[in-house]
A and B are shown apart, each in its own frame.
Chain A
Amino acid sequence: MRTTRLAVAAALAAAVAAGCGSPEPAARQSGSPSAASTPVKLTYWTWAPNMDKIVAVWNQAHPDIQVTVNKQASGDEAAAKFLTAARAGNPPDLMQAEYQHLPSFVAADAVADLKAETEPIRGEFSEGLWGLVTLGTDSVYAVPQDSGPMMLFYRKDLFDKYGIAVPKTWQEYAEAARRVREADPKAYLGTFSSKDPGSFAGLAQQAGAQWWSISGEAWKVSIDDAATTKVADYWGDLVKEGVIDDMPYFTPEWNKALNDGRLLTWPSAVWAPGVLETNAPKAKGKWAVAPLPQWSAGENVTGFWGGSSTAVAAGSKHKEAAAKFAAWLNTDPQAVDLLVKEAAVYPAATKGAAALTGAPGYFSNQPGFWRQASAIAQTARGFTFGPNVSTAYSVFKDAFDKAVQAKAPFSTALRTVQDAVVADMRKAGFTLAQ
């Protein structure tokens, strides 16, 4: 009597433990690779819109490998959820992984090495993007899907009204910021968001920052290097001077400022048209795009903000099938075309440029939008993310929040981030280069 009760309790406990990650473990395990009659079943966690439609095309053509899309909340939450599921032993087979989270997935041994499977498609991607999925090692941890080269979005109508030229250097951007304050005391040229470390990382990349790097068998962390300090103090000084606002992006307040024409620029990434379309519908057709201002005149470089890849979970029972799907999704001409049209991503594959026809609706008055975007994308600098980006980003938000509030130097906040990241890596046991 007692033993059966214990057995029931143990079975229940196991069921509870197994149930807390993904709801589909059973579906995944039911597929068997050896039997040709029963198709391999894969689950795919993604937050790209309309991905189920793209997957339906694959499922139609590949009856032996059936993929099920499991829609996720975007970004950080999905990353945390994936790591938890991987730790619990029931991850999805495929996962949309933002480039900055990939190293933490690799460090947690949660994603598979796809070196052999991706050999034939390597030539489809630029060196810079490929580096984001190899982390500078010999392994390949994901297939690049989309990228977010940064560019400057600006209110063409208001620039014309106030007689401001599109800034070519950050120096000119600062001067334009002062001009805007004089022309309209209620408006700002831009805002510094302490809540978006991804945006700051992109601006630092443009200046030549390299926050993490691998030298030999050790990590080198230099978040407070000269290039990043220069970027931090540039924005810190403008905020302190009061010529750049300090409201965070993606808040109702920010939406309102964009709609009312009280924010004249947004240094953002290629995916910005979608955001502007939803958040500032009133200003449609008034925005234009230009390359980011440069640190020295005559230069032509940019950084990445966002972008993601398709990774295969180390715990997947069908790695080969999953890798096949990941390669198809991100390099097959039909799939890339669908990614652009249905999921509205800026494809990572170089041949994706062919799929980019007609400007996004919000920029319908700029027929050359995609030509300009892909020209800018070519100028993006390479970057390596480290194994604890989420710690860095979390500390960044708190430290820069404080600096913005106290109008304190941003370089001090940057040092806080550097120290916290180094301490965190040391505590975990990573080998650090001095």
Chain B
Amino acid sequence: MRSGERSSQTRAAASRHDTGRRGKAAPRGTVAPYLFLTPAVALFALFLALPIGYTVYLSLRRTKVSGLGLGRGARKEVFVGLDNYAAAVSDGELWAGWLRGLAYGAVVLSVMLGLALLFALLLDSARVRLARFSRIAIFLPYAVPGVVASLMWGFLYLPSTSPLPGVDFLAASTVLYSMANIAVWGGTGFNMLVLYTTLRAIPQSLYEAARIDGASELQIAVRVKIPILAPAIVLTTVFSIIATIQVFSEPTTLKPLTATISSTWSPLMKIYRDAFVTGDLYSAAATSIVVAGISLVLSFGFLRVVRNRAFGEA
């Protein structure tokens, strides 16, 4: 209630300020806004637009070898139009990688976000003990770098060094879950913290009102907290979708340990292989553009679907 009042006041103040300025500033303010924009635009151009442009440029080219391909002048770069894209899209390995990525993402998203929500609600409830300790304990794995976590779990998964010798964690049927487990272990804490922080920002008066109306803790959680959390849940989901599309370090670290992870297990691994193992930067560039396009569609598609529901009328 109080915060609502304050924000409406500031908004009013800001709009007053705006109308006051607009009349005087308009005629001379042509350089200053651009000057203020320069750092952002320059950084954007240098570190985002330029590399993306170069990737697009590369994706339209290819080296052409003649004869044995040895010696000077035996290889030159040529323009090939959309050939690399045609090859990327028609490569079954890329789509098989997407399927694996989707299955992996489904497991990670549901388990990780489910646990994060559960932990956040539990920590926020009035009756929990050792809240500070649990919060840190759940968050701590997020501080472990992905490669280190994968190596550590890799040791636990290997039959001869595993504490559970009977189970083959790296078999064809289980490797997906073993990998998802690493992501869940590492990511739950971060997502929990995002949700928990949002919960702490909810004014206590809402809960008081609910309690006066006779709601139990569970009802408060389901009817009050989760609807208020919806935007934060959407945010963590979008981040997690992007993270699962970009899954790379876990399978790459586990790959040398088992025959069940191929060098093209996930889409990004295929790009890495094309660019740096088989030395075909051009195909890798085309595949990168395709992967970027699909992840844009997936994340914005998800946002579009849930926007109305999560953000109300906004």
Contact = CB atoms under 8 A, between A and B. Distances in A.
Contacts of A391: 277-279
Contact of A387 (B46, B69, B154, B155): B69
A181 B113 CA distance: 48
A248 B259 contact: yes
Given A248-B256, A252-B155, A428 B69 contact: yes
A217 B278 contact: no
Contacts of A84: 276
A137 B71 CA distance: 10
Contacts of A397: 262-263
Contact of A429 (B45, B65, B172): B65
A261 B70 CA distance: 47
A214 B263 CA distance: 30
Contact of A402 (B159, B256, B262): B262
For the residues of B in contact with A, the DSSP-based class is: loop
A80 interface: yes
A400 B70 CA distance: 30
B70 A429 contact: no
Contacts of A246: 259
A241 interface: no
Interface secondary structure of A, over-half rule: helix
Contacts of A388: 278
A182 interface: no
A196 B274 CA distance: 19
Contacts of B63: 428-429
Contacts of B161: 252-253, 256
B65 A390 contact: no
Interface string A2-17: 0001000100110010
B204 interface: no
B279 A104 contact: yes
A9 B43 CA distance: 9
Contacts of B277: 76, 80, 390-391, 394
B66 interface: yes
B37 to A, nearest CB: 12
A107 B74 contact: yes
A198 B277 CA distance: 15
Given A139-B71, A394-B273, A428-B69, A9 B45 contact: yes
Interface string A194-216: 11000000000000000000100
**How many interface residues does chain A have, given as a range?**
35 or more
B70 A401 contact: no
A59 to B, nearest CB: 32
B66 A431 contact: yes
A83 interface: yes
B256 A405 contact: no
A424 B66 contact: no
Contacts, number: 114
Contacts of B74: 107, 109
B68 A194 contact: no
Nearest to B276: A80
A16 B49 CA distance: 14
Interface string A241-282: 000001010111100110000000000000000000000000
Contact of A398 (B256, B264, B276): B264
B261 to A, nearest CB: 8
A80 B75 CA distance: 18
Interface in B71-97: 71-72, 74-75
B160 interface: yes
B101 to A, nearest CB: 17
A36 B279 CA distance: 40
A87 B263 CA distance: 24
B132 to A, nearest CB: 36
Interface in B224-272: 256-264
Nearest to B257: A251
- Most chain B CB atoms below 10 A, which of A84, A107, A405: A107
Nearest to A387: B69
B42 interface: yes
B264 A107 contact: no
Contact of B158 (A9, A76, A253, A402): A253
Contacts of B159: 253
A109 B72 contact: yes
B65 A13 contact: no
Contact of A253 (B71, B257, B281): B257
A405 B172 contact: yes
B160 A256 contact: yes
Nearest to A76: B277
Contacts of B264: 398
Nearest to B279: A83
A295 interface: no
B279 A405 contact: no
Given A9-B46, A12-B46, A137 B279 contact: no
Which 5 A-B pairs give the minimum distances between C-beta atoms? Answer: A401-B259, A429-B65, A80-B276, A391-B278, A398-B262
20 contacts: A9-B46, A12-B46, A13-B50, A76-B277, A108-B279, A109-B72, A137-B70, A248-B257, A252-B158, A252-B160, A390-B277, A390-B278, A391-B279, A394-B273, A397-B262, A397-B263, A398-B263, A401-B260, A429-B66, A430-B65
Interface of B: 38, 42, 45-46, 50, 63-72, 74-75, 154-155, 158-161, 172, 256-264, 273, 276-279, 281
Given A84-B276, A107-B69, A394-B263, 6 more contacts: A5-B42, A9-B45, A80-B277, A217-B67, A402-B262, A429-B64
